[in-house]
Structure 1
């Protein structure tokens, strides 16, 4: 009978929602976020476990990273070699971790952002701490093993990590709709925090912060908002402000220099180069004139960025400027998100430690149950061998009289003597009373003759006593939580003694960095811009001496204050602001800088129609004229804005700004169209509007016509234009009404 095909109808939106949620949870749980128990993402866990399986221990030779990556990818992590090698590199970088878990040999990148060498060149092995505290009890059934991606191998669901790795090394990861960012902490302090929690599970965040003072970044630095840490560690969210460490060194001749010896943790990588560029930018933009030179003298021995100052410079004020205007003071966004019991959860400091301690108890319980079971098996076998040594002659007689091993074994276990030849009836009677267990019988049959030597029997007795002590110890640990806590604490103290390092990051409350900018002495200057868009400013006296050359060589010449701004209006209706102080001030023959580089103006896309200083506009009315003959007056004060670029007027589609000019109530406006129509109107006819308005129509233009030019005439101005070789006096044109066709000339 044929099976009938069934079509299942599903809402597309519902299907997409389910698929996306499945994908998001897969990324969250199985890729981007660490597990709160071992503090590792799946790729890190698989890489470390694979190195353990390959036997790349801390006391064995390094192995090629390509071998590690290939083996991990083939067995456990089928997501590409770059993700595995990237994780391996980070695990080996001491400047990114509180404690590196991999011992790298070769080029594993630098603190300045240099990438690691290709995996075929680098080698690695596990660190001693990783072997002892992260992977040591995998053979004792302490964690569950799950099938790998193709069910051909088994991998641990979590590593049996005995220290809170999620706090020691921190974590960073971007999932779908959420991200984690946990700072690294001091190894010794974290161990002390765990012990304090085990002794007092009701410990508060404030009490815990007396032990774990705060983050301890591998790059050092100074955390300056100590008072905020309690709130951050209570809820697991917040911002930690961190500064680099700056020392002021005296030099010969009374000069000083700033030496940066520690950087903020977020500056690790390419941000050191960004910081140097920011300092160069401060010098170029004349925000400071006190910096003579800057050099990066960092090496494998540590960070050393030297900023040399000129004589008499205020070093402390300059240091504050670096904090305010560069990334020498930065923020580390804390979001302590991790996977707990299979779901993402944001946790506070005490809650993370609680999860870790519960995990330690779980590991210890499973470990000692396994050890107890093995010890009980060992005890059973040892008791059988001791008992066998007492009746060894009888056992030899049974073996010699048996036809096969099965018959002999059966006699040892049940006392069945049927078919076995004995020398005496007494021996047969004694054999019938034997009651060894299955394991004991197997051990007796496998026992070698040298074990019958007196010293060997004595060693067996001592070993049995040791086994009985171990069983008593294991039962005590499993039977009492206090005993188990003592064992865990003892192990944690041993780890602290061997691996704890002094704190690198200073935690304090520091005042806000206050930088007093030197007030610029206000003075008049002359702004010059040539026809190629290169601009500069010169002293007024320099301009006066070179007035003729300056006027003939430059497209724009205007006098303004050095504290003023230049307003650049373009045919697209935009206004770009340019600070006069950003322009080079100097000699008349200096080339200048393209205004494209100093503002948002683009010479390839826009055309300048009007330039003025901002101060010159404030008491004026500006007339806007577009190609489509749209007119309006705008108060010059409207252009006093903070944005570098703002819309100076609204334009209709396909329209462009023809020009802008200051006007007064007595002026008249003459418009000339491309088809030589002329219209003269009084300026008061043109309404005043806001800069965001379109304006009103000035001249009725025929189909395909547009304004070619416009002229503003004062009361006594005489102005002529030539049309078809005929001279026209604009001041003699009749003053007509706005929105009329005008006259043809």
Structure 2
């Protein structure tokens, strides 16, 4: 046994190499499609496995669990969920321009419902997939390579006859890069490919005479037509999408808006989000034109109905929906694919170029294979025809031979030594025979019925057809125009059988502009309970339920509905919430978690002070930290538009214990956890900027910390309860800031 060696190397080099290997594996072998067939490895392997299992479009469905298990065991050892998810997507007609798998059972819905478990669903190949994606695999048209454990062979690419990368689009996130290609209309893509084949110098603009733009399975409207040329030229950009909105007249002069098509980006949870956004518009009184909203979508298609009040401004409301909801959305285009073994961002023309090159390669390999077979057939046919003309001599050779080897030697090389002939003439004729190896084998295997006159005629007709086929194949292989004409005729046939009308409208639309209804300013009361659920109610509602409200809620703030609530936390941050973002209604409504409408995270920080934002305009705030640091800050410094800012700078392991509104002439009392009190004039606290740490307010004893700050006006008796005892603040000895303080007894 040899001794193990320790290889010394730079750790960063090993990490770098390992990460690059991992990244390239994800990019090439997992996340990005190949430009030739437009498929990711998991999709290619799943379709090929279904083909190998014989789950054709004209055969019974098979359980998806069987397909997934077989694919995972033979070709794709990356977990069953990724394979099943890829299979499901290939069967969803609302995600794919052309479905590749015919699914039977619950394969999910456009509204985001997931597919049933793979043990319940069944699938088979779609007719398009069988005839356009998997045909000719037996004709050596693509290279095969070993699978992960080298027990099977799998195609490195499928012989897809259409630009699937454009027709079905692609989505994938790799390491440091992502692809996002929209779906297109099959008929238009076929026409563009033909146009390129007839004129290789055609420009992107020229191709766009055929490909008008993306054609999403959900329909909708592309509203930035003029930007498409730049997107297709560079392979990157943003497509603006809108849903299709129709106005229906109702009885009594009322109208309703019906959304019959949605942007492709709204598939799944986006529909529920859209409904919630519309509810929010109504709740926050941004619009009062909507009286009811209902989702009447079914298998027949999308139908979301917004009932409007009489006299509603329909055009303004439509524009509001485009601006404030995902009824208008953007689709980010990044046409990234694996080309020649490396990831590359491709233009529309480059994708079509790669496709046409691939088609010529497929057809060349196909017809070379077919030509070789026809030439073999021709050789055999010529041998059989020749044999029929001297059949008596061949029978004499066979009867005079002791074994097949001697008979074959005579037929191929004219060797007659080991064969008994009836006459010298026969022997002389036999010595002149020169059949090929293949012809001799065919003659020896020939059945006697082939000697019937009609069979001989059929053989001669077959030979004529074989010669025609050879001439045809040689013409295709030697003549570019003939091959191009054949490819274009095949594309026409595919378009005729599978093409369909465009579903997405492409146009230039004006920017959606709406007049935002001015919200009527009114006073409200902000309520937040100890669990962080917040809401607003009318002041009269609060007054009627004051006792219960004060008991049940941790924070109560009177404010305007057009204002903001400011929340200061122990981490030194200030979070802002628009009052309009909070639900307004009845006293017993639960409210919404404050985390949902702000950047505040209740798992990482605690609120130490809440106030009305408008209250800060002319106020001064006193900040105090656990380590005894204090400062005053102008409240106007916190009148900002950002949702979150740093309200004060903290030292290491320090935390903000509170924020107080402070006025001139007040007295401040600092109390520590250890029971020390320090009283001094609040005017002694210096004013600082919000980004400052502040100054020391009290000298803390070892392991002690500041726990509370009290403010009171001189001359008023102010008592506070500390534990079981009561302390009168105005009786404490007057001192100066930064003292040790006195311990209460």
> Taking structure 1 as the reference length, what is the TM-score of the superposition?
0.89
Bigger Cα displacement from structure 2, 274-283 vs 344-353: 274-283
Over the aligned positions, Cα root-mean-square deviation in angstroms equals: 3.4
How far apart are the structure 1 equivalents of 2:726 and 2:105?
A: 83
Residue 254 (structure 1) aligned with residue 253 (structure 2): yes
Residue 372 (structure 1) aligned with residue 371 (structure 2): yes
Contact 1:283 1:289 in 2 (8 A): yes
1:120 offset after TM fit, Å?
A: 2.3
How far apart are the structure 2 equivalents of 1:3 and 1:555?
A: 73
Partner of 2:715: 718
Per-residue deviation, residues 354-378 of structure 1 (Å, max 9, x unmatched): 1111111111111111111111111
The 5 Å alignment of 1:273-292 reads 273-292=272-291
Partner of 2:234: 235
How far apart are the structure 2 equivalents of 1:456 and 1:725?
A: 122
How far apart are the structure 2 equivalents of 1:475 and 1:530?
A: 84
Residue 401 (structure 1) aligned with residue 400 (structure 2): yes
Partner of 2:115: 116
1:537 offset after TM fit, Å?
A: 4.5
How far apart are the structure 2 equivalents of 1:744 and 1:46?
A: 78
Per-residue deviation, residues 246-274 of structure 1 (Å, max 9, x unmatched): 11212122222221111111222222222
Contact 1:92 1:102 in 2 (8 A): yes
Partner of 1:387: 386
Contact 2:46 2:83 in 1 (8 A): yes
Partner of 1:61: 60
How far apart are the structure 2 equivalents of 1:633 and 1:360?
A: 76
1:669 to 667, 670, 678: 667
1:477 offset after TM fit, Å?
A: 0.9
1:435 offset after TM fit, Å?
A: 2.2
Partner of 1:435: 434
Contact 1:51 1:126 in 2 (8 A): yes
How far apart are the structure 1 equivalents of 2:391 and 2:467?
A: 24
Partner of 2:95: 96
Partner of 1:295: 294
Change (3 A) 1:628 1:721: farther
Contact 2:283 2:584 in 1 (8 A): no
Partner of 1:527: 525
Contact 2:624 2:656 in 1 (8 A): no
Change (3 A) 1:558 1:44: closer
How far apart are the structure 1 equivalents of 2:137 and 2:515?
A: 60
1:740 offset after TM fit, Å?
A: 5.7
Gaps of 5+ in 2: none
The 5 Å alignment of 1:510-525 reads 510-523=509-522, 525=523
How far apart are the structure 1 equivalents of 2:689 and 2:35?
A: 59
Change (3 A) 1:361 1:640: same
Change (3 A) 1:396 1:584: closer
Per-residue deviation, residues 600-631 of structure 1 (Å, max 9, x unmatched): 668996455563x4334323444445676644
Partner of 1:189: 188
Partner of 2:50: 51
Change (3 A) 1:190 1:701: closer
1:39 offset after TM fit, Å?
A: 1.3
The 5 Å alignment of 1:499-648 reads 499-523=498-522, 525=523, 527=525, 529=527, 536-538=536-538, 542=540, 560-569=559-568, 573-582=572-581, 593=591, 596=594, 606=606, 608-609=608-609, 611=611, 613-624=612-623, 630-648=629-647
1:709 offset after TM fit, Å?
A: 4.7
Contact 2:621 2:632 in 1 (8 A): yes
Contact 1:90 1:96 in 2 (8 A): yes
How far apart are the structure 2 equivalents of 1:594 and 1:113?
A: 24
1:71 offset after TM fit, Å?
A: 2.2
How far apart are the structure 2 equivalents of 1:19 and 1:35?
A: 24
Partner of 2:660: 660
Q: Secondary structure at the match of 2:90?
A: helix
Partner of 2:329: 330
Contact 2:582 2:592 in 1 (8 A): no
How far apart are the structure 2 equivalents of 1:180 and 1:316?
A: 36
Gaps of 5+ in 1: none
Change (3 A) 1:164 1:547: closer
How far apart are the structure 2 equivalents of 1:558 and 1:583?
A: 13
Q: Secondary structure at the match of 1:14?
A: helix
Change (3 A) 1:253 1:493: same
Partner of 1:360: 359
1:507 offset after TM fit, Å?
A: 1.3
> Taking structure 2 as the reference length, what is the TM-score of the superposition?
0.89
Q: Secondary structure at the match of 2:538?
A: strand
Partner of 2:39: 40
Per-residue deviation, residues 471-504 of structure 1 (Å, max 9, x unmatched): 1111111111111111111111111111111111
Q: Secondary structure at the match of 1:92?
A: coil
How far apart are the structure 2 equivalents of 1:368 and 1:25?
A: 35
Per-residue deviation, residues 372-403 of structure 1 (Å, max 9, x unmatched): 11111111111122222222223223333333
Contact 1:536 1:592 in 2 (8 A): no
1:136 offset after TM fit, Å?
A: 1.3
How far apart are the structure 1 equivalents of 2:541 and 2:401?
A: 126
How far apart are the structure 2 equivalents of 1:66 and 1:114?
A: 19
How far apart are the structure 2 equivalents of 1:100 and 1:547?
A: 59
Partner of 1:689: 688
1:543 offset after TM fit, Å?
A: 8.9
Contact 1:386 1:457 in 2 (8 A): yes
Contact 1:243 1:263 in 2 (8 A): yes
Change (3 A) 1:614 1:405: closer
Change (3 A) 1:111 1:413: same
1:552 offset after TM fit, Å?
A: 8.6
Residue 148 (structure 1) aligned with residue 144 (structure 2): no
Contact 1:574 1:649 in 2 (8 A): yes
Q: Secondary structure at the match of 1:259?
A: strand
Contact 1:143 1:363 in 2 (8 A): yes
Change (3 A) 1:50 1:448: same
How far apart are the structure 2 equivalents of 1:244 and 1:373?
A: 55
Per-residue deviation, residues 514-551 of structure 1 (Å, max 9, x unmatched): 2321012334x253658868764536xx5999799899
Change (3 A) 1:248 1:412: same
Contact 1:109 1:115 in 2 (8 A): yes
1:669 offset after TM fit, Å?
A: 2.9
Contact 2:542 2:549 in 1 (8 A): no
1:134 offset after TM fit, Å?
A: 1.4
How far apart are the structure 2 equivalents of 1:306 and 1:418?
A: 96
Bigger Cα displacement from structure 2, 596-605 vs 88-97: 596-605
Residue 471 (structure 1) aligned with residue 467 (structure 2): no
Q: Secondary structure at the match of 1:720?
A: coil
Change (3 A) 1:639 1:506: same
Based on CA coordinates, which of the two structures has the bigger radius of gyration?
A: 1
1:433 offset after TM fit, Å?
A: 2.6
Change (3 A) 1:254 1:106: same
Contact 2:678 2:739 in 1 (8 A): no
Partner of 1:209: 208
